[in-house]
Structure 1
Amino acid sequence: MTAHTYTYQRRYCGPLEAVIFDWAGTIVDFGSFAPTQVLVDAFAEIGLPVSLAEARVPMGMAKWDHIQTLGQLPDVARRWQAKFGAPMTDADVDQIYEIFMPLQIARVGAYSQPIAGALDTLATLRAQGLKIGSCTGYPRAVMNALLPLAAELGIAPDCVIAADDLAAGARPGPWMALANVIELGIKHVAACVKVDDTAVGIAEGLNAGMWTVGLAVSGNEVGLSQSEWLALSISEQQQRRQRAAEKLAQAGAHYVIDTVAELPAVIAAINQRLARGESPA
């Protein structure tokens, strides 16, 4: 019996069907302060100061993993060893997580105003027939506190997947993004766009086979409030924008824009690429 090898490429050439958003730094919380500032405060409660810049390094990860990775940063690990006489253990991570969770639940709403242009962008995408998905590094308990507050402000995605919802895990794996595909009833991952402000969130979208859009200015990489951003000189803004955009581009983002307000033009460009037979791979 002779075996034959056949090569057949099945490309999706239809329009986009869904956009899957991150939360903090993407559609709410300009500068992504809720997850980072609260982590700084949680570490302070055990007597180990960490800076906001250090807390931002693992952003986008599930929060238990975020705490563990933060504790493994060389400078933080040295300070931990000097104070406690041993490296951070999983039990230490559990202790900080138990401090972090009630603080995060209590304070997430205070930081989570919609980013300028987010509501208009969501309305534009819905008017085009796109479904709105979302996933986050926040655990479900935090999202349960945030979702009703966000809904009152006009943000109510069709799907919300939290970092601890899935047994498979969270970012940079594709599972939360793919859970959106299932819940939203999307037939082709190439019909989806993942929008995120972190490198690990871009990796999530790429691993799921989706188009990816990085947000340079509104999120973790610049890490400033909108008022702080606007107070910078044009040259300072450009330097910070470029550093953030380069990191997201190096992570593999197909597009990098300042904020979600610019997303509709990118959606149009991706639809044109799909019509030409291009794919996100």
Structure 2
Amino acid sequence: MKHLEALILDWAGTVVDHGSVAPTTIFVEAFKAAFDFDITLAQARIPMGMGKWDHIATLGKLPEIESRWQAQFGCSMTNEQIDHIYNTFMPLQKAKVADRAMPIAGVLPVIARLKEQGIKIGSCSGYPRQVMDVLEVAAAEYGYQPDHSVGSDELTAGSRPGPWMALENVNALGIQRVANCVKVDDSAPGIAEGLNAGMWTVGVALSGNAVGLTEQEWAACSNDEQAVLTRQAYQHLYQAGAHFVIDSLADIEPVLMQIEARLARGERP
């Protein structure tokens, strides 16, 4: 590939942690531990991809959560309460993230082939740096080591859906043209991040947050159930603005060939 320079990859649900299980379960636990307040896994997934403090704040504004929160505490969720949930979340997340660091099936060989072609691998996440430090070590033991990574709390400007983490990868990797980058993510905020950065965007439907099932849970679904979940996940990511949607990062090479051909014709995202 003569034009593509880099892939900027999300972590949970895109490269590791099939189903993006680690962050969602911990949000449920953190709300319970901090304030004895129950949220569902489905609710915890709604803002997935955002930085974790912003994720908690967004959950607090969901009508079905805010009404119960006001009934229980007499006011909308305050910044101090968000801080307390976040501080409860962090040690729980650090303890859990290494358990879900295994790369998604078929991903590592694809990344290796792309690197052999000179394509750089950047990464960013809704996880803050202290969680990334744990995850990166655990993932490296499986053989995944991107060329650069950025945590959600590392940049003054903020995180998703803004472009800053993706663009920090551009800077660190020495990319010549942002349009020669592909942002790959399983969440709507992550797709928006790539769009806002001026990159091609590829949504990952089945291995990530849009479906939210482990490999074992997915395999246990009937064909009809899988068909419904697939259609819903593809629709969700296309509605978020993704240029392309695939089942898994393992399936990205044909899409990259299409993007390379469009770049060769002078097209931009």
Give the TM-score normalised by the residue count of structure 1.
Answer: 0.94
Q: Which has the larger radius of gyration?
A: 1
- 2:110 aligns to what SS in structure 1? helix
Measured after TM superposition, the shift of residue 14 of structure 1 is: 5.2
Matched, 1:53 2:16: no
Opposite residue 232 of structure 1, the aligned amino acid is C
Identity %, equivalent residues = 58
Matched, 1:40 2:28: yes
**How many pairs are equivalent?**
268
Matched, 1:134 2:123: yes
Residue 17 of structure 1 corresponds to which residue in structure 2? 5
Which runs of no fewer than 5 residues in structure 1 stay unpaired?
Answer: 1-12
Residue 78 of structure 2 corresponds to which residue in structure 1? 89
Opposite residue 33 of structure 1, the aligned amino acid is V
Match of 2:178 among 179, 186, 189: 189
Matched, 1:235 2:224: yes
Residue 10 of structure 1 corresponds to which residue in structure 2? none
- 1:162 aligns to what SS in structure 2? coil
CA deviation vs aligned residue, 1:56-110 (integer Å, no higher than 9, x gap): 0000000000001011111111111111122110000000001000100111111
Residue 58 of structure 2 corresponds to which residue in structure 1? 69
Give runs of ≥4 in structure 1 deviating > 2 Å. none
Q: Output the CA distance in 2 between the equivalents of 1:225 and 1:152.
A: 21
CA deviation vs aligned residue, 1:147-180 (integer Å, no higher than 9, x gap): 1111110110000010001000000000000000
Give yes or no for contact 1:80–1:88 (8 Å, CA) kept in 2: yes
Which runs of no fewer than 5 residues in structure 2 stay unpaired?
Answer: none
Give the TM-score normalised by the residue count of structure 2.
Answer: 0.98
Opposite residue 218 of structure 1, the aligned amino acid is S
CA deviation vs aligned residue, 1:93-133 (integer Å, no higher than 9, x gap): 00000100010011111122110111111111111110000
Residue 92 of structure 2 corresponds to which residue in structure 1? 103
Residue 204 of structure 1 corresponds to which residue in structure 2? 193
Give yes or no for contact 1:14–1:191 (8 Å, CA) kept in 2: no
Give yes or no for contact 1:48–1:79 (8 Å, CA) kept in 2: no
Q: Output the CA distance in 2 between the equivalents of 1:196 and 1:121.
A: 16
- 1:172 aligns to what SS in structure 2? coil
Give me the CA root mean square deviation: 1.0
- 2:77 aligns to what SS in structure 1? coil
Residue 122 of structure 1 corresponds to which residue in structure 2? 111
Opposite residue 16 of structure 1, the aligned amino acid is L
Q: Output the CA distance in 2 between the equivalents of 1:160 and 1:21.
A: 9
